[in-house]
Amino acid sequence: MDKIKYRLVYNRKKQLNKQGMALVQAEALLNQQKVYFKTNIYLKPEHWDKQTSQVCNHPQANDLNTMLFEFVLHLQAIELSLWKRGIPVTLSLLKNAIKKDKPVNVTFPVFARIYVQESDRKRSTKENLLTTITVLQEFRPGLDFKDITYTLLRDFEVHLKEKGNSVNTIAKHLRQLRTLVNEAINQGYIPSDAYPFRKFKIKQEKGRKEFLTPDELRKLENLQVSDKRLRHVLDAFLFCCYTGLRYSDFCQLTPENIIRVNGKRWLYFKSVKTDVEIRLPLHLLFEGKALAVLERYDIVTDFAKIGPNSEANKHLAQLSALARIRKHITYHTARHTCATLLVHQGVPITTVQKLLGHTSVRTTEVYSEVLSNTIIRDLKAVKRKKKTPDFRRPVECG
């Protein structure tokens, strides 16, 4: 691999500013291509020696020359750090490192955190990516880019298993790590031919969407709760069961999200996760039970303030125990419950798709799990429709 050549250049554009001064730049040359870096040092023509490429006849000549020398050293240090990692050095990579003012000896976790924080991804996505970075740091602190190999992925997978993570949780971490590795390749920190996921297969199981049956939902509806905090959490959960809202969407609700269409109240909002606009006729969903819940609260905004998801889920565990429900339920269980019960009621899958705000009907189809009493109901319906032959009628013989 060729090495970059550096030199200091004064007044490259052959033009002085209003103060009669021009900029000193650092030129980087590689494979007959050049890029220039601003040193932010401006001089008059008489203060620059073309022969030695140094500041001269200036009161702070020594200090300025030291600054210029250190600037070139900084460029060389970045180049050297890339060489040590086995990364092919390019002018664009060098320029990017200077532009973003990244540390010379940046590690993979540091790079990943900077990338996530500066990206325009949704907050929830950023939080998930940062969680994976934290887990990775706990597994192997100070990872260098060259350490991200097939072997590391395999060892990381084993580590997550030993920590008691499920197959799908492990898959989620690995997918998010893959996203970060892809970005490191895009920015030139990892050579594309060293892509560690090329032969690594991320294992995943078909997840079970936990939901409440009609009887279990009824138990929660009939549960008497005196504690105000628990009552609030329960009402919010039931509201999400009747509307299918995600926790993130519920927490964003304001009075402006309740609109009237032909005198009837609808819930209108844009999903935080998918940015899809959703309109729900509250009077038609589950016999208008969501409206009944809303009427217990003066302001929708206050109703939507139920605190962090993890804390609310702990309260849900208490409520499910009080209702004698032997399931681990979270706020997302409410969304699964809404979708499953709508399908159970005979609502077409494409309609359920629109109500949930899914962009693909394939996402909605996972909720079409058949309940036991649905089987009984459908079989009884077939039996009623079946025509029994009447053997008492005489048969005419020809």
Residue 194: which residues within 8 A CB-CB, separation 6 or more?
A: 86, 146, 149
Angle at 363 between CA 362 and CA 368, to 5 degrees: 80
Residue 252: which residues within 8 A CB-CB, separation 6 or more?
A: 269, 272, 304
Ordered by start, the domain boundaries in the chain are 5-99, 108-194, 214-380
pLDDT in tens, 37-91: 999 999 999 999 999 999 999 999 999 999 999 999 989 888 887 787 667 788 8
> How many Cβ atoms are within 10 Å of 266's Cβ, its own excluded?
16
Res. 379: pLDDT tops 70: no
Spatial separation of the C-alpha atoms in residues 200 and 149, rounded to whole Å: 10
Report pLDDT for 125.
Answer: 87
How confident is the model over 3-21, as a mean pLDDT?
93
Report pLDDT for 272.
Answer: 83
Residue 248: which residues within 8 A CB-CB, separation 6 or more?
A: 124, 272, 273
Res. 153: pLDDT tops 80: yes
Q: Which is higher by pLDDT, 128 or 397?
A: 128
For the question of whether the overall pTM of this predicted structure is more than 0.75, the answer is: no
Q: According to the 3-state scheme, what is the secondary structure of the chain?
A: CCCCEEEEEECCCCCCCCCCCEEEEEEEEECCEEEEEEEEEEECHHHEECCCCEECCCCCHHHHHHHHHHHHHHHHHHHHHHHHCCCCCCHHHHHHHHHCCCCCCCCHHHHHHHHHHHCCCCHHHHHHHHHHHHHHHHHCCCCCHHHCCHHHHHHHHHHHHHCCCCHHHHHHHHHHHHHHHHHHHHCCCCCHHHCCCCCCCCCCCCCCCCCCCHHHHHHHHCCCCCCHHHHHHHHHHHHHHHHCCCHHHHCCCCHHHEEEECCEEEEEEECCCCCCEEEEECCCHHHHHHHHHHCCCCCHHHHCCCCCHHHHHHHHHHHHHHCCCCCCCCHHHHHHHHHHHHHHCCCCHHHHHHHHCCCCHHHHHHHCCCCHHHHHHHHHHHHHHCCCCCCCCCCCCC
Which residues lie across from 22 on neighbouring strands? Answer: 43
Report pLDDT for 195.
Answer: 94
Q: How confident is the model at residue 343 (pLDDT cuts 50, 70, 90)?
A: confident
How confident is the model over 294-319, as a mean pLDDT?
91
Res. 177: pLDDT tops 80: yes
Spatial separation of the C-alpha atoms in residues 371 and 354, rounded to whole Å: 22
Report pLDDT for 95.
Answer: 83
How confident is the model over 152-170, as a mean pLDDT?
93
pLDDT in tens, 279-290: 999 999 999 999
Spatial separation of the C-alpha atoms in residues 33 and 37, rounded to whole Å: 14
Res. 394: pLDDT tops 60: no
Q: Mean of the per-residue pLDDT values for the chain?
A: 86
Which residues lie across from 36 on neighbouring strands? Answer: 27
Please give the class, per CATH, of domain 108-194. mainly alpha
Report pLDDT for 372.
Answer: 53
Report pLDDT for 382.
Answer: 62
Report pLDDT for 197.
Answer: 96
Report pLDDT for 359.
Answer: 73
Tell me which CATH code domain 214-380 carries. Answer: 1.10.443.10
- Residue 351 contacts residue 358 (beta carbons within 8 Å): no
Res. 233: pLDDT tops 90: yes
- Residue 197 contacts residue 153 (beta carbons within 8 Å): yes
Structure tokens at 319: 């409520």
Residue 190, phi then psi, degrees to nearest 5: -125, 130
How confident is the model over 229-258, as a mean pLDDT?
94
Structure tokens at 153: 């992925």
Res. 275: pLDDT tops 90: no
Lowest mean pLDDT across 12-26, 113-127, 164-178: 113-127
pLDDT in tens, 179-215: 999 999 888 788 888 899 999 999 988 766 788 999 9
Report pLDDT for 214.
Answer: 92
| Rg, Å, the chain Cα set | 32
Q: Which is higher by pLDDT, 393 or 110?
A: 110
Structure tokens at 293: 């819940």
How confident is the model over 308-320, as a mean pLDDT?
92
- Residue 87 contacts residue 99 (beta carbons within 8 Å): no
